[in-house]
Amino acid sequence: MRAVRLGGAAAVFLSAAGFAVTGGWPWRRLERPVVSADQVAPAVDASIETSDTLQPGETLSHLFTRQGVTNLDPSRLRDVLDPRRLPSGLEFRFRRTPPDSVPSLITARTTPEQRLTLERVNDRWHARVLPIRWEALPLRVEGAIDNSLYQALDDQVGDNQLATPERQRLAWDLADVYAWQVDFTRDIRPGDRFRVLLERQVSEEGEVRFGRVLASDLTISGKSMTAFRFETEGRPGFFDADGNSLRRAFLRAPVQFRRISSNFARARFHPILGINRRHEGTDYSAAPGTPVMAAANGVVLRAGWAGGYGNLVDIRHRNGITTRYGHLRGFARGIHAGARVRQSDIVGYVGSTGLATASHLHYEFRVGGVARDPRRVDLGSGEPIAARLRPLFERERQRLASMLLDTAPPPAAQEPVDPLIRWHP
């Protein structure tokens, strides 16, 4: 066999490729040159990322076209999102690698629980929905109620625990727990106290939001009222320490209100008519558009204009009881004569129609056609936990009570999230 010497173009090729030629053929081998670590340049990510938001009245096609994406039909994304239901202000992020002007990756946080990613591979787009994991951490808050429940919670819960809108929602949810026992505009006295165990949910991206009220203890005029969350037949509810439901047949107040502007009275000066006459209900001052709820299960007798009442809803309940909701700005969808409603269903929205000087709900409670003070009627007692669920309830009550009433706060409540990003659904 004759040895072959590489030369000319072959030698030039191997040299240009960065290989060294050693020994004689066929026992020659190609070896890469040895390069020290400090001679290796770190990889540089040359991509750039920009963001754009969906404007009011704008379609997703318009936004994509503005960003140079012309080969992606939004209608083909309906398996992962509905382009017609995207809210204005939704942010999309676009990643490009110059000199390519067409993005290679598009992402958007479509819900608190998921992120949409659109990746371009060989001029074809591939869509994926990535789940966002949230972890529920226990947080216990307690303090005195000197003014209002919201103010007390606002004083005790810092921004590093819950954002302001989340604290407001916590106040509403806690008030809902005791909606059948406490009138928070009349029953609260300076020095009353609250203690609540709640879930503070933290996402894998560091966002924080309020989860659920798990248990609470409210002390009003020296009387302690404890509530524990427990599910029966898949429906959550709140029960006292003895296992009796806090829910009653009727809500104490059918609207989230600022104050009571006029009480039930045998004689009251009417601000528009200028005469004294009987006031057969309670006026709850609230912002226009505030949802009004059905006080109990029943059937709508009428929903329409009723003179001085303005827009009015009448609901018939069991045992000869009817409730009346006046001065509404409008009615909820599906509310008409003959419609069946359940307790807490929205029936209308606070307004100032009819003989009203300001936005409020006029609420009446009638038994056998006779008006009664809705804040003084007996709402009955709550149903007890079923015997077969009693062992499960007692174990859950013990678990929640150990965190609610223990002198040491839950460990997770002392660990603020940093950096703090808040998600407002």
Q: Are 323 and 365 in contact (CB under 8 A)?
A: yes
Residues of the chain with CATH 2.70.70.10: 259-372
Q: What is the pLDDT of residue 291?
A: 92
pLDDT in tens, 35-71: 555 555 555 567 889 999 999 988 889 999 999 888 8
User: CA dist 370 to 3, 321, 324, 355, Å?
Assistant: 119, 9, 12, 22
Alpha-carbon torsion, ordered 273, 276, 278, 279, to 10 deg: 60
Q: What's the confidence (pLDDT) of residue 340?
A: 96
Architecture, CATH, for domain 48-131: Roll (3.10)
Task: Return the number of other C-beta atoms located less than 10 Å from residue 358's C-beta.
Answer: 11
The sign of the CA dihedral 380, 381, 387, 390 is positive
Number of helices (H), then strands (E), belonging to the chain: the values are: 5, 25
- Strand runs (DSSP E) across 182-253, as ranges? 192-203, 207-220, 223-232, 235-239
DSSP state for residue 251 in the 8-state scheme: -
Return the H-helix or E-strand segment holding 324.
strand 321-331
| Cα-based distances in Å from 163 to 142, 158, 176, 200 | 17, 8, 20, 11
Q: Show Cβ contacts of residue 41 under 8 Å, excluding neighbours closer than 6 positions.
A: none
CA 125 to chain centre: 32
Which tokens hold the place of 29?
């081998």
Every domain range in the chain assigned CATH 3.10.450.350:
48-131, 134-248+406-422
- Dihedral angle at the C-alpha atoms of 180, 185, 186, 191, nearest 10 degrees? 100
What phi-psi label fits residue 407: left (phi over 0), alpha (psi between -120 and 50 degrees) or beta?
alpha
Give the pairing of strands 207-220 and 421-422: parallel
Distance CA 242, CA 239 (A): 8
Cβ(140)–Cβ(161) below 8 Å: no
Give the residue among 193, 198, 192, 194 at the shortest CA–CA distance from 140: 198
Low-confidence residues of the chain: pLDDT under 50:
1-32, 258-259, 261, 263-270, 272-277, 408-425
Architecture per CATH, 259-372: Distorted Sandwich (2.70)
pLDDT of residue 268: 42
Domain 134-248+406-422: which topology? Answer: Nuclear Transport Factor 2; Chain: A, (3.10.450)
Quick one: pLDDT at residue 12? 34
Whether the upstream peptide bond of residue 26 has omega within 30° of 0, thus cis, is yes
- H/E stretch holding 61: helix 60-66
**What's this model's pTM, rounded to 2 decimal places?**
0.64
